[in-house]
Chain A
Amino acid sequence: MSIDPRVVKDELIQIYPKKLRQKRSEQIVVTQKGEGGSVPEIKANVRTSPGIITQRGCTYAGCKGVVIGPSRDILSITHGPIGCAFYSWLTRRNQTRPATLEDPNYINYCLSTDMQEENIVFGGEKKLKAAIREAAQLFKPKAIALFSTCPVGLIGDDVHAVARELKEELGINIFGFSCEGYRGVSQSAGHHIANNGVFKNVVGLNETPHPEKFKVNVLGEYNIGGDGFVIEELLTRCGIKQISTFSGNSTYDTMANAHTADLNLIMCHRSINYVAEMMEKRFGIPWMKINFIGADATAKSLRRLGEYFEDDALKARIEEVIAEEQEKVSGIREAVKARCTGKTAMLFVGGSRAHHYQQLFKDIGMKVLAAGYEFGHRDDYEGRKVLPTVKVDADSKNIEEIDVVPDPVRFRPRRTAERIEQMEAMTEMEFRDYVGMMPEMDDDTLVIDDLSQHESDRLLEMYRPDIFCAGIKEKFGVQKMGIPCKQLHSYDYGGPYAGFRGAINFYKDIDRMVNMKYASFLTPPWAAQEKEAQQAAAD
């Protein structure tokens, strides 16, 4: 590609007013690895300027929509006017599979207090309480979660007090989330609030023991398109017990039981790292960043589990599973690679997917030209090593940081500090770490945080990549340009994309998209003839 990314960067931001231009210039970085693999600093997790057409959503979306929503038997009640509940109703494709027809499953229900003007003027707590009582009577849930929307915080309804009162009255677990949409700069604030709430109100309440030798939680896996099913199936085949996910296909009981695991695996670092850290401090469970997106990445992640549990039989089983699966993958990968090599991709989505999916493109010989997160932080780009230098601004300060101390009874370090250090030295394993997106990107590619519609349109005009990955709001504008757009939130209603089976699905989907025929029919024959005639006349 002969395009100079530095020129592109200038081109993207020149239209902005001065202050905005300055800010955006710090959020757009040309990758260049320095000494010891260092990467340039990027500005992230900062406000989107008003008037900018952004991909981002709100705190409520991150809390209810992303983290808590996927759990099927926590009954979610949205406290607010109707819209927020409506828009977060089944739109994220969190698959769930109750074991029997009798098991509770609230995922297809949308519950709201549908606040009206009088509730705004006179307060909505009374209506919220009545709604909880009605919900408890109709659904008989074990747990109810309450989610605050924008006006709730402003009028001063106290969802936590209501939760305490009704918990007492009804004898079931009820907890609230102050996830008003305006609280953060993106969904990210909502993830943090959800992590805090789940940790405080759910984790550790179920002591059911498990006889299995190897027990893990998979955190930050929401079972979109069935990814979580694939991962659990792989773990099971290897002989590893998955206690809970946070939170795809999870239940209240599995999350409450999560502290009985011996290792936390982190898929989406951005949305879930908080609860992993808190569980380590309180219960002594180490956490490890893994990645089940991509066949090789999946193999590597599984091998790390073998190393962690230090069990030869487990290691052998893992190798068997990997060998079996890789054989299925390799033929298809080679065939797809032959058709896709040299093609180009861009990924602008989420807080982990824009990183994870780069591997899948590399697997089939495609080059990533540019990438960025919608709501990532600096550590998601540059790695957690920058955490001590990240400035905490006013928008992050208003989110509670829970002071966690070891549980007097249940704190049990699964590995000693020395053993963890030894493991890190001897293997490729890193605990409590995430290297971030940028160290794994080629030099002279573009990394753009919180990509705007204007930047996206210009980027596509200049580079014309073979595929663009983003979300539903971006998809059809991209496709009008003749460039296929893969949704990486909803997978275009396909998937799963995780694990070996998922990699095959992804390779096939990308093959289909970058080699489609319809875009070559853009020009009707009469227009082509006219163009030819003009060309002939000019010659």
Chain B
Amino acid sequence: MLLRHTSSEVMERSALTINPAKTCQPIGAMYAALGLHNCLPHSHGSQGCCAYHRSTLTRHYKEPVMAATSSFTEGASVFGGQANLLQAITTIFGVYNPDVIAVHTTCLSETIGDDLVQIIAKARSEGKIPEGKHVIHCNTPSYQGSHVTGFASMTKAFVTYFADPQAEKTQAINIVPGWVEPSDMRELKALAKQMGVEVILYPDTSDVMDTPYTGKHDFYPKGGVTVERVQASGGSAATIGLGLSASSPAVEALQSKCAVPGTMLELPIGLQGTDRFIDTLHKLAGVEVPQEITDERGRLLDLISDMHQYVHGKRVALFGDPDQLVALTEFLTLLDMKPLYLVTGTPTPQFEARVRKALGGNTPEAKIKAGAQADMYLLHQWIKNEGVDLLIGNTYGKYIARDEDIPFLRFGFPILDRVGHSYFPSVGYKGAMRLVEKILSLFMDRQDRDALEERFELTM
């Protein structure tokens, strides 16, 4: 047994986290910054933070992740990191020549109390930031929030630094996609294009975290939203924010700074989420929904109707990030599955209310926990008490899945042992079809594996 010390007896814990269902803020800020064109993320702290974040993102995407660090040593920790950051800014513009350096803080620089606004102003006044270049920042102490809130903070920093209240008013719609995969961002843009809506989407990691094999290492790949587009987003007609936890801060900032009205939706994962996204786009942009999209929706429903018997009533445990869990809960409920156990390490005040809303009165016995000690150890204990038919979460779930012999759907961040998430979307109707296909394959493979010889089915 891989997790042989996990017992079914749940003991109340007040201090110890075991097998966390979250990681720290800075990695989220780094991922968001990769979605800005010609931008080098910069970690203001010890070298290890940057190395760990780059490694984790790289394992998830199998792509180069370029980011720099302030390389704190003991001296910087005593005297403050200003000298390190000033030197880093000079070196980065001189050697790596980005358009933007996106700095995020760490628990170290936050505990010291480095004032990023002041340091960046000093860099500018000392001429360390070349004409037309930018240094932006967000505060991401690791002792607050999680990787999700770090992502949200850097996305908001795009707005606070770049979105222009004086930008020319356009009919464009801003989309703040939340922490989703490059494949999802690509799909959201494709759906909008299909509907004939001009969108400004950011962060946008498509063509950054899914680049082709070309024989060349493009230090700054062609993807990512440009600074000009973020500036222009201040003049857009409206903003749609996807995923309340990851996108609300940026959408609110756009509204208050540039008076762009924002609509917040849960992630368009599954049928209902996608319905709301398409419908909102349709209303805000005043465009018709093309028949192709309606047909795609129909095909999703058709698939569900064809295979409903295999998913109906299945008990599911989920762990991961709040936005993903809420959207998945709603979709699984539509499939007549039972999302029973949900944990997210991300402190999320409205988490249970959002999940209950997504459940729509179904599965009232569901156990839901967010924040402190809402970890995979607890989830595993719940599973040990009353088993489930399916586990959904990031790669770390494979240890529970193997011990308990439960079908396992890899979903979320990080996925370290399978590919596909960066190439094939899970948003939109097509994404929902992919999810259904994956869930079906898991159940049907299991049935094929376990069936008595006389019950081994040719057609399913």
A residues near B (Cβ < 8 Å) are 15-17, 20, 47-61, 77, 80-91, 101, 104-106, 108-117, 119-120, 127-131, 134-135, 137-139, 149-151, 153-155, 180-186, 394-395, 398, 453-454, 457, 460, 471-482, 518-519, 522
Minimum CB–CB distance for A429 against chain B, Å: 37
- From the candidates A49, A114, A480, name the one contacting B211 in the complex (CB within 8 A): A480
**Chain B residues, CB < 8 A from A478:** 217
A49 in complex: contacting residue of B16, B48, B71, CB < 8 Å: B71
In the complex, B442 has a CB within 8 A of chain A:
no
Q: How far is the CA of A136 from the CA of B374 in the complex (A)?
A: 19
In angstroms, Cα B211 to Cα A291, docked, is 39
Fill in one digit per residue for B42-55: 1 if any A CB lies within 8 Å of its CB, else 0.
10011111011111
- Chain B residues whose C-beta falls within 8 Å of the C-beta of A130 in the assembled complex: 14-16
Q: Does any Cβ of A come within 8 Å of B73's Cβ?
A: yes
Q: In this complex, what residue of A is CB-closest to B101?
A: A51
Report the Cα distance A77→B15, complex, angstroms: 11
* Interchain CB contact under 8 A, A86 and B45: no
Interface: B3 (CB within 8 A): yes
A48 adjacent to B71 (CB under 8 Å):
yes
Chain A residues within 8 Å of B71, by CB: 47-52, 54
Contact of A395 among B1, B26, B74, B141 (CB under 8 A): B74
Task: Find out whether the CB atom of B55 lies under 8 angstroms from the CB atom of A91.
Answer: yes
- Cβ contact within 8 Å between B5 and A83: no
| Contact indicator per residue, chain B 64-108, by CB within 8 Å of chain A (1) or not (0) | 111111111111110000001101111110111000000000111
Among B142-150, B273-281, B326-334, the stretch that binds chain A is B142-150
Q: Which B residues are CB-close (under 8 A) to A519?
A: 215
Contact for B111 among A52, A54, A150, CB less than 8 A = A150
| 4 closest A-B pairs by CB | A58-B48, A83-B24, A51-B88, A51-B91
Q: A16-B94, A154-B112 are in contact. Are A116 and B144 (CB under 8 A)?
A: yes
Known: A17-B94, A112-B20, A154-B112. A101 touches B396 (CB 8 A): no
Within the complex, the shortest CB–CB distance from B393 to chain A, in Å, comes to: 14
Are B59 and A109 interface neighbours, CB within 8 A? no
Q: Assess whether A53 is in contact with B216, with CB atoms less than 8 Å apart.
A: no
Contact, CB under 8 Å: A52 / B17 = no
Question: 29 pairs across A/B with beta carbons < 8 Å?
Answer: A17-B94, A47-B73, A51-B42, A51-B71, A57-B52, A59-B46, A77-B16, A81-B142, A82-B142, A86-B23, A87-B53, A91-B55, A109-B19, A110-B20, A116-B372, A117-B144, A120-B141, A149-B107, A150-B45, A150-B72, A180-B77, A182-B73, A182-B74, A184-B73, A394-B74, A394-B75, A480-B64, A480-B218, A481-B215
Report yes or no: A50 in contact with B107, Cβ–Cβ below 8 A: no
User: Given the known A-B contacts A472-B58, A476-B62, are A108 and B3 also in contact in the complex, defined by CB atoms under 8 Å?
Assistant: yes
Do the beta carbons of B20 and A475 come within 8 Å of each other? no
Question: Would A154 and B56 count as touching, CB distance under 8 A?
Answer: no
B22 at the interface (CB under 8 A from A): yes
Once the chains bind, are B87 and A50 in contact (CB under 8 Å)?
Answer: yes
Residues of A within 8 Å of B54, CB to CB, are 473
Q: How far is the CB of A28 from chain B (nearest CB, A)?
A: 15
- B20, B46, B52, B211: the one within 8 Å of A182 (CB): B46
Contact of A111 among B18, B85, B372 (CB under 8 A): B18
> Is the Cβ of B217 less than 8 Å from the Cβ of A457?
yes
Contact of B19 among A20, A110, A119 (CB under 8 A): A110
The verdict on B460 contacting chain A, using a C-beta distance below 8 Å, is no
B23 touches A101 (CB 8 A): no
Residues in B with CB closer than 8 Å to A153 are 77
Chain A residue, CB-CB nearest to B45:
A150
Cβ of B305 < 8 Å from any Cβ of A? no
Partner of B217, one of A111, A155, A480: A480
Are B214 and A480 within 8 A (Cβ)?
A: yes
- B22 contacts which chain A residues (CB < 8 A)? 82, 86
State the CA gap A453–B19 with chains docked (Å): 33
B11 A138 Cβ-Cβ under 8 A: yes
CB neighbours (8 Å) of A55 from chain B are 51
- Contact A54/B74 with A82-B23, A472-B58 known, Cβ cut-off 8 Å: no
- Interchain CA distance A91-B48 in the complex, whole Å: 14
Q: Nearest residue in B to A518 (C-beta to C-beta)?
A: B213
A460-B217 Cα distance, complex, nearest whole Å: 10
Bound-complex Cα distance A185 to B46 (A) = 9
| Docked complex Cα distance between A15 and B66 (Å) | 18
Point out the residues of chain A lying under 8 angstroms from B310, CB to CB: none
B141 touches A117 (CB 8 A): yes
Q: How far is the CB of A489 from chain B (nearest CB, A)?
A: 9
Q: Which residues of the partner chain A approach B144 to less than 8 Å between Cβ atoms? A: 116-117
Shortest distance from the beta carbon of A344 to any chain B beta carbon, whole Å: 18
With both beta carbons as reference points, the residue of chain B lying nearest to A20 in the complex is identified as B91
Contact assessment for A105 and B4 in the assembled complex, using a CB-CB cutoff below 8 Å? yes
Given contacts A61-B52, A83-B27, A108-B2, contact A51 B68 (CB under 8 A): yes
Contact in complex: B52, A83 (CB < 8 Å) = yes
Residue of B51, B62, B87 near A56 (CB, 8 A) is: B51
User: A151–B108 contact, CB under 8 A?
Assistant: yes
Q: A50-B84, A137-B11 are in contact. Are A114 and B96 (CB under 8 A)?
A: no
Chain A proximity of B4: nearest CB distance (Å)? 6
Docked Cα-Cα span, A428 to B67, in Å, equals 46
| Bound Cα distance A81, B112 (Å) | 15
Q: Does B63 contact A (CB under 8 A)?
A: yes
Residue B449 interfacial (CB < 8 Å): no
Whether A134 lies near B13 (C-beta < 8 A) is yes
B29 to chain A, nearest CB (A): 12
Check A53 against B67 for contact (C-beta < 8 Å). yes
A395 touching B73 by the CB < 8 A rule? yes
A394 to B73, CA, bound (A): 10
User: Contact string, B337-361, partner A, CB cutoff 8 A, digits 1/0?
Assistant: 0000000010000000000000000
Nearest opposing residue in chain A for B403, CB measure: A108
Q: A82-B23, A87-B23 are in contact. Are A60 and B48 (CB under 8 A)?
A: yes
Report if A81-B143 is in contact (Cβ < 8 Å); known contacts: A16-B94, A131-B15: yes
